[in-house]
Protein backbone atom coordinates (compact mmCIF):
# COMPACT_ATOMS: atom_id res chain seq x y z
CA UNK A 1 0.00 0.00 0.00
CA UNK A 2 1.36 3.40 -0.95
CA UNK A 3 2.20 5.72 1.91
CA UNK A 4 1.31 9.40 2.20
CA UNK A 5 2.74 11.87 4.67
CA UNK A 6 0.94 14.72 6.37
CA UNK A 7 2.21 17.94 7.86
CA UNK A 8 0.77 20.84 9.74
CA UNK A 9 1.45 23.79 7.45
CA UNK A 10 3.23 26.60 9.25
CA UNK A 11 4.98 29.76 8.00
CA UNK A 12 8.51 29.37 6.74
CA UNK A 13 9.92 30.69 10.00
CA UNK A 14 8.40 27.78 11.89
CA UNK A 15 9.54 24.16 11.60
CA UNK A 16 7.50 22.04 9.20
CA UNK A 17 5.76 19.15 10.86
CA UNK A 18 5.66 15.82 9.03
CA UNK A 19 4.40 12.36 9.88
CA UNK A 20 3.88 9.11 8.01
CA UNK A 21 0.28 8.00 7.72
CA UNK A 22 -1.30 5.03 6.03
CA UNK A 23 -3.38 6.16 3.08
CA UNK A 24 -4.93 5.09 -0.14
CA UNK A 25 -8.20 3.29 0.34
CA UNK A 26 -8.56 1.99 -3.19
CA UNK A 27 -11.68 2.90 -5.11
CA UNK A 28 -14.30 0.27 -4.68
CA UNK A 29 -13.32 -0.80 -1.17
CA UNK A 30 -16.36 -1.48 1.00
CA UNK A 31 -17.32 1.31 3.33
CA UNK A 32 -16.32 0.75 6.95
CA UNK A 33 -18.11 1.88 10.10
CA UNK A 34 -21.30 2.54 8.17
CA UNK A 35 -24.74 1.10 8.84
CA UNK A 36 -27.98 1.55 6.92
CA UNK A 37 -30.50 3.80 8.60
CA UNK A 38 -32.95 4.23 5.74
CA UNK A 39 -33.13 3.77 1.98
CA UNK A 40 -31.89 7.33 1.57
CA UNK A 41 -29.15 7.64 4.19
CA UNK A 42 -26.54 5.77 6.23
CA UNK A 43 -25.03 6.26 9.66
CA UNK A 44 -21.25 6.54 9.88
CA UNK A 45 -19.55 5.99 13.24
CA UNK A 46 -16.04 7.10 14.21
CA UNK A 47 -14.57 7.26 17.73
CA UNK A 48 -18.04 7.53 19.28
CA UNK A 49 -19.28 10.18 16.84
CA UNK A 50 -22.24 9.11 14.69
CA UNK A 51 -23.06 11.05 11.52
CA UNK A 52 -26.14 10.53 9.41
CA UNK A 53 -24.83 10.70 5.84
CA UNK A 54 -27.14 11.78 3.02
CA UNK A 55 -27.81 9.44 0.11
CA UNK A 56 -24.78 9.20 -2.17
CA UNK A 57 -22.20 9.87 0.55
CA UNK A 58 -19.92 6.92 1.31
CA UNK A 59 -17.26 6.40 3.98
CA UNK A 60 -13.93 4.75 3.11
CA UNK A 61 -11.86 3.89 6.18
CA UNK A 62 -8.09 3.39 6.23
CA UNK A 63 -6.78 2.91 9.76
CA UNK A 64 -7.44 6.04 11.81
CA UNK A 65 -8.60 8.15 8.87
CA UNK A 66 -11.74 8.13 6.77
CA UNK A 67 -12.55 9.69 3.40
CA UNK A 68 -16.26 10.40 3.00
CA UNK A 69 -16.94 10.79 -0.71
CA UNK A 70 -19.82 13.11 -1.57
CA UNK A 71 -19.61 13.12 -5.36
CA UNK A 72 -17.30 12.02 -8.16
CA UNK A 73 -14.08 10.43 -6.94
CA UNK A 74 -11.70 8.01 -8.66
CA UNK A 75 -9.27 7.71 -5.75
CA UNK A 76 -10.69 8.19 -2.23
CA UNK A 77 -7.62 9.49 -0.40
CA UNK A 78 -7.12 12.53 1.82
CA UNK A 79 -6.06 15.49 -0.32
CA UNK A 80 -6.32 13.56 -3.60
CA UNK A 81 -7.18 15.74 -6.60
CA UNK A 82 -10.62 15.56 -8.20
CA UNK A 83 -12.22 13.64 -5.34
CA UNK A 84 -15.31 15.34 -3.94
CA UNK A 85 -15.09 14.44 -0.27
CA UNK A 86 -14.27 15.47 3.27
CA UNK A 87 -11.89 13.71 5.64
CA UNK A 88 -12.10 12.53 9.24
CA UNK A 89 -8.88 11.90 11.18
CA UNK A 90 -8.28 10.26 14.53
CA UNK A 91 -5.53 11.38 16.87
CA UNK A 92 -2.89 9.00 15.52
CA UNK A 93 -2.93 11.07 12.32
CA UNK A 94 -2.14 14.39 14.03
CA UNK A 95 -0.50 13.61 17.41
CA UNK A 96 3.24 13.44 18.18
CA UNK A 97 4.25 13.92 14.57
CA UNK A 98 8.05 13.61 14.32
CA UNK A 99 10.06 16.76 13.58
CA UNK A 100 13.81 16.41 13.72
CA UNK A 101 14.63 14.95 17.11
CA UNK A 102 11.29 15.92 18.65
CA UNK A 103 7.60 15.99 17.84
CA UNK A 104 4.65 18.32 17.46
CA UNK A 105 0.89 17.88 17.66
CA UNK A 106 -1.92 19.56 15.71
CA UNK A 107 -3.77 22.11 17.84
CA UNK A 108 -5.58 24.23 15.26
CA UNK A 109 -3.00 27.02 15.38
CA UNK A 110 -1.83 26.10 11.88
CA UNK A 111 -3.81 24.39 9.17
CA UNK A 112 -3.57 20.68 8.51
CA UNK A 113 -1.92 20.22 5.12
CA UNK A 114 -0.41 17.23 3.27
CA UNK A 115 3.23 16.97 2.30
CA UNK A 116 4.47 14.67 -0.43
CA UNK A 117 6.37 16.88 -2.84
CA UNK A 118 4.16 19.07 -4.99
CA UNK A 119 0.55 18.87 -3.80
CA UNK A 120 -2.10 19.14 -6.52
CA UNK A 121 -4.96 21.58 -6.24
CA UNK A 122 -8.12 19.71 -5.12
CA UNK A 123 -9.94 20.67 -8.32
CA UNK A 124 -7.16 20.42 -10.91
CA UNK A 125 -4.23 18.00 -10.70
CA UNK A 126 -2.29 20.12 -13.19
CA UNK A 127 -2.01 23.02 -10.73
CA UNK A 128 -0.47 23.21 -7.27
CA UNK A 129 -1.87 23.91 -3.80
CA UNK A 130 -0.57 27.10 -2.15
CA UNK A 131 -1.73 27.21 1.49
CA UNK A 132 -2.58 30.40 3.31
CA UNK A 133 -1.07 31.28 6.67
CA UNK A 134 -3.94 33.04 8.50
CA UNK A 135 -7.43 31.74 9.21
CA UNK A 136 -10.26 33.98 8.00
CA UNK A 137 -12.86 32.52 10.35
CA UNK A 138 -12.49 30.95 13.80
CA UNK A 139 -14.73 29.98 16.68
CA UNK A 140 -16.70 27.11 18.17
CA UNK A 141 -19.18 24.96 16.24
CA UNK A 142 -21.70 22.49 17.64
CA UNK A 143 -21.09 18.84 16.78
CA UNK A 144 -24.04 17.09 18.38
CA UNK A 145 -25.24 17.42 22.00
CA UNK A 146 -22.56 18.37 24.48
CA UNK A 147 -19.74 18.63 21.94
CA UNK A 148 -18.26 21.78 20.42
CA UNK A 149 -15.46 21.80 17.88
CA UNK A 150 -12.73 24.37 17.45
CA UNK A 151 -13.46 25.71 13.96
CA UNK A 152 -11.01 27.35 11.55
CA UNK A 153 -11.39 28.34 7.91
CA UNK A 154 -8.13 28.76 6.00
CA UNK A 155 -7.82 30.52 2.61
CA UNK A 156 -5.81 28.68 -0.03
CA UNK A 157 -4.93 29.15 -3.69
CA UNK A 158 -4.33 27.00 -6.73
CA UNK A 159 -1.32 28.20 -8.72
CA UNK A 160 0.44 27.13 -11.89
CA UNK A 161 3.26 24.71 -11.17
CA UNK A 162 5.88 27.38 -11.66
CA UNK A 163 4.08 29.45 -9.02
CA UNK A 164 3.57 32.31 -11.42
CA UNK A 165 -0.21 32.56 -11.75
CA UNK A 166 -3.19 31.99 -9.49
CA UNK A 167 -5.91 29.91 -11.14
CA UNK A 168 -8.41 29.44 -8.31
CA UNK A 169 -8.99 29.96 -4.61
CA UNK A 170 -10.72 27.83 -2.00
CA UNK A 171 -11.17 27.48 1.76
CA UNK A 172 -10.08 24.61 3.95
CA UNK A 173 -12.54 24.18 6.82
CA UNK A 174 -11.48 22.32 9.97
CA UNK A 175 -13.53 21.09 12.93
CA UNK A 176 -11.30 19.90 15.78
CA UNK A 177 -12.60 18.04 18.82
CA UNK A 178 -9.52 17.57 21.04
CA UNK A 179 -11.30 15.68 23.84
CA UNK A 180 -12.88 13.25 21.39
CA UNK A 181 -9.62 13.18 19.39
CA UNK A 182 -11.28 13.87 16.03
CA UNK A 183 -10.36 16.28 13.23
CA UNK A 184 -12.70 16.89 10.28
CA UNK A 185 -11.27 18.60 7.18
CA UNK A 186 -13.19 19.86 4.13
CA UNK A 187 -11.78 21.67 1.08
CA UNK A 188 -14.84 21.30 -1.18
CA UNK A 189 -17.18 23.55 0.82
CA UNK A 190 -19.37 20.44 0.99
CA UNK A 191 -23.05 21.48 1.02
CA UNK A 192 -24.81 20.27 4.13
CA UNK A 193 -21.68 19.18 6.01
CA UNK A 194 -22.07 21.77 8.76
CA UNK A 195 -25.62 20.57 9.40
CA UNK A 196 -24.56 16.90 9.35
CA UNK A 197 -21.97 17.66 12.03
CA UNK A 198 -24.42 19.76 14.03
CA UNK A 199 -26.88 16.85 14.11
CA UNK A 200 -24.25 14.28 15.20
CA UNK A 201 -25.04 11.86 17.99
CA UNK A 202 -22.56 10.29 20.40
CA UNK A 203 -22.23 6.82 21.85
Q: Which of 16-20, 64-68, 101-105, 128-132 has the lowest mean pLDDT?
A: 16-20
6 vs 95, more confident:
95
- The pLDDT, as a whole number, for residue 14 is 37
Between the CA atoms of 21, 3, 81 and 181, what dihedral angle is there, to the nearest 10 degrees?
-10
- The pLDDT, as a whole number, for residue 194 is 98
Mean pLDDT of 181-190: 97
What digits encode the pLDDT tens for the residues 101-125? 777 788 999 888 755 467 889 999 9
Please give the full DSSP string across 97-124, using - where no structure is assigned.
EEETTEEE---SSS-EEE-SSSPEETTE
H or E, element range at 130: strand 124-131
- The pLDDT, as a whole number, for residue 26 is 32
Mean pLDDT of 161-190: 93
CA distances (Å), 67 to each of 13, 76, 80, 86, 108, in order? 31, 6, 10, 6, 20
Exposure b/e, 38-76, CB count within 10 A at least 16 = b: eeebbbbbbeebbbbbeeebbbbbbebbbbbbbeebeeb
Mean pLDDT of 4-11: 51
CB-CB neighbours of 80 under 10 Å:
20
pTM of the model: 0.81
- The pLDDT, as a whole number, for residue 84 is 97
Looking at every residue in the chain, the average pLDDT score rounds to 82
Amino acid sequence: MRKRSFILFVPAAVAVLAAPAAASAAAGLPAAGVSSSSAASTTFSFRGMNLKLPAGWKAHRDGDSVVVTTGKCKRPEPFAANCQSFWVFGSTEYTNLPVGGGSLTYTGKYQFHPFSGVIPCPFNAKTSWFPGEKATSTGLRQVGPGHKAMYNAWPNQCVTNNGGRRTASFTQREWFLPKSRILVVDVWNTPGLSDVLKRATWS
